[in-house]
Structures are given as C-alpha cells and as structure tokens.
Copies of this chain bind each other. A is one copy, B any other.
C-alpha cells in the first residue's frame, strides 16, 4: 500500500494525507489503519487538558522544545470538538506553535469533530496510530476545553496532564466540573500569578481525599509558568518518571487494553448503525416519522419499537 509505506517512512506530507483520509472517513481508511497497525505501540501518548485560557498551547510548545533537544520526534494532535460551529476559529491559536514549522520532526495537526457519535475519539485514535507507525516517539493530544468529549479523548492517552490556573475560579470549578479524576499529573500553570499556592493546596487536598493510602504519592502536582519558561524541566522529569512507573507496574498495558476495548465498541457501534441505515434508508423515512410523532401524537418509543421490529423482520427475509 503506497500511502501506508510512505507513512512508515515518516514522509510528512503522506502523514497529513493519511490523517485527512481518516478524518473524512474515506473508503481506504480501514485498509490504511490495518496496514499500519502491526507497526504501532512504540510511541508514548500524553494528553494535555484543562479550561480554555489555562495556557495549554504555550505549555505544549515548551514541552516540544525540551523533547526536541533530546532528539525525540514529536507529533501534536489538537482536538477541538466544538469547531464544526466555529470553522477556522482555532487556527489563530495554533499559530503559537509555528515556532516548529520548519522542523520536520515536529508535526502539528488540528482535528475537528465531524459531528457523528464517537467520531472525534475514533478519528483521534486512528491519528495516534498514524503518528505512531510513522516513527514519532512522543504524541501529545491537546484539547481546547474540558467536557465529556474531551474526557473521552483523554482516554486515548497513556498519561494525562491536567492544566489548572489560579484566578480563573479553577479552585472551585475544577471540583465542580468533576474533571479532577482524569489527571495523572496536575500542572498549576501561571505559577507567578496570585493564588497559585492556594490552588496548589486545594488540589493537594482534593487528591488526598480521593486517593487511597497506597497510591498517595502517585499523582504529582507541578508548578509551571509556560510563559516564563519556568518549571518545565521539572514537568518533563515528572512525566518521564511517571512513564517508568506505569510501565513497570503494568498500568500502561492495562490502560492500552482498556483503550482497545473502547475502540472496538466505538467502531462496532458506528458500523452497525451505518449498516442499518444503508438497509433502512432512515433519512428518507424520518420526516414521515416526525409527522407521526408531532401531529398524530404517537409516542416516540412506540413508533421506533414498531419500526425496529419491522426492520428485523424485513432484514431476515432479505
């Protein structure tokens, strides 16, 4: 497979082409992924998430610099689940990472949701495989905000940096939004701002509540200032140690197994539904169904149950 072979050689434009192929759900997508699949599993995957404005992009930029100094090839996937609404609004932000535009061993790719169920998580999972097979050592997945979709996307990472900042109400909000549990390492960015120490204490307090005695030391909190380039070396050392720890304790393998389970479920659901749609041509019938529900006041469950029953009968007789 020509495109697959080029990806395996790390050919940058082919990597871009391959990701577009999976994003647009092109027919050759499945063949491509399965062709690359045996070459996957070497890359380390870091997720970076947190509220908008927490300084994630700047932080990622600094991490890229450190990893490049160590000779690592770094791929970045910037995930923006809400961008079907805003089109290119995110592009300006990505410009901050243009420092690396001339470096062939850094590849940055924005991915937007195509609006279908589980779509962005599946597409991101496939993009990780492309980077991995292409020989990237480190893959960073960065999300724009924090929500259910972003939490799903973070499931694809081997370890997650949760970036918090003082003064954005994060102290209370982080708890309220229920996102604390998705972090492996907690990064308090903008550490020079008022309230950083207070936030540190609060995060520490919450982690102590949520963790059992045994793994108390396992979720580090690191203070950084991405803008001032401070604390970045500590953060790099911290996630390197964390990788070692999860490799030795079989945690990484378990995470990766769980990831494949999720992936199978996603792909399976998508395929079954598209199979059913193909047979049933739902989009042609749905207006009539809406009329039944809206004007004849047929309950939606009664209607759909009847349709599914009918569909199974027809399908079996086909």
Contact = CB atoms under 8 A, between A and B. Distances in A.
Contacts of A286: 261, 264-265
A217 B144 CA distance: 30
A289 to B, nearest CB: 6
A293 B265 CA distance: 13
Contacts of A38: 297, 299
A175 B53 CA distance: 12
Given A144-B176, A269-B273, A264 B304 contact: yes
Interface stretch (A59-67, A77-85, A134-142, A225-233): A77-85
A263 interface: yes
Nearest to A308: B271
Contact of A82 (B179, B265, B282): B179
Contacts of A71: none
A148 B146 contact: no
A133 to B, nearest CB: 11
Contact of A267 (B84, B181, B260, B301): B301
Contacts of A268: 282, 304, 307-308
Nearest to A91: B176
B53 A169 contact: yes
A169 B260 CA distance: 37
A180 interface: yes
A80 to B, nearest CB: 7
Given A33-B301, A34-B301, A260-B294, A148 B52 contact: no
A197 B301 CA distance: 48
A81 B300 contact: no
A113 interface: yes
Interface string A44-82: 000000011100000000000000000000000000111
A83 B151 CA distance: 12
A117 interface: yes
A211 interface: no
A272 B271 contact: no
Contacts of A173: 52-53
Interface in A274-303: 275-276, 282, 286, 289-290, 293-294, 297-303
Given A82-B148, A267-B301, A269-B273, 19 more contacts: A52-B176, A52-B177, A53-B169, A81-B148, A83-B178, A85-B182, A86-B177, A90-B178, A117-B118, A144-B177, A168-B169, A257-B290, A260-B293, A264-B289, A264-B304, A265-B282, A267-B300, A272-B272, A316-B316
Interface of A: 29-31, 33-35, 37-38, 51-53, 80-87, 89-90, 92-93, 113, 117-118, 120, 144-151, 168-169, 172-173, 175-182, 256-257, 260-261, 263-265, 267-269, 271-273, 275-276, 282, 286, 289-290, 293-294, 297-305, 307-308, 312, 315-316, 318
Nearest 10 A/B pairs, CB to CB? A147-B147, A34-B299, A86-B178, A30-B301, A53-B169, A148-B149, A82-B178, A52-B173, A38-B297, A37-B299
